[in-house]
Amino acid sequence: MHRLKVAEKERDNLSGSKLEAEAFMLKERDIRVAKNTLYQLLEHRSSCDVDRMTSGMEKAMEKLSSERNKLKESEAQLSAIQVQYDSIKADYDKVSQELQSASTQYDAFERNDVKLQEDMRHARAQIKKQQAAVAKETKREADCAAEAVDVKVQVSLD
């Protein structure tokens, strides 16, 4: 009988520890479930952010490509106008030298000179326009490149 009482007493003493251990295990399980839910939510948000950043980067790269194409076109136009300008300038220089050496044909050369000067002014104006366009396109290209870098940095941070 004495053993039975001792065994019941030990069981009663251990039941408090058992309840504490069970409560602790339940709390631990609840924490793990909450953490798991949080991790899944964070993973979902991250994947959405990656998708958004990837599409933003693709758009920026397309814009950069478009701006580069515009820049190439402007440079091609500028080189064509530069060739025209050089040709006109060479003609002008030739006529100018002929005017200095031949004073008898002064009137005809003067008319040609005026025409060539007007052509040169027009060519210079065209060159200035094209140079401004090239500068604008170069700035756009730099802005697009910076935007692409920013998007890449954001994607790598996420």
Whether residues 67 and 134 fall in one domain? yes
Domain that holds residue 17: 1-46
Q: Is residue 56 part of a domain?
A: no
pTM of the model: 0.38
Give DSSP secondary structure letters for 71-91: HHHHHHHHHHHHHHHHHHHHH
- Please report, as a single letter, which amino acid is at residue 85: Y
pLDDT reported for residue 158: 62
Helix (H, G, I), strand (E, B) or coil at 105: coil
- Report pLDDT digits (tens) over 55-79: 999 999 999 999 999 999 999 999 9
Instruction: Output the average pLDDT for the chain.
Output: 89
Whether residues 91 and 18 fall in one domain? no
Q: Is the pLDDT confidence value at 17 over 80?
A: no
Whether residues 67 and 132 fall in one domain? yes
Whether residues 39 and 81 fall in one domain? no
pLDDT reported for residue 10: 80
- Report pLDDT digits (tens) over 124-149: 999 999 999 999 999 999 999 998 88
Whether residues 88 and 149 fall in one domain? yes
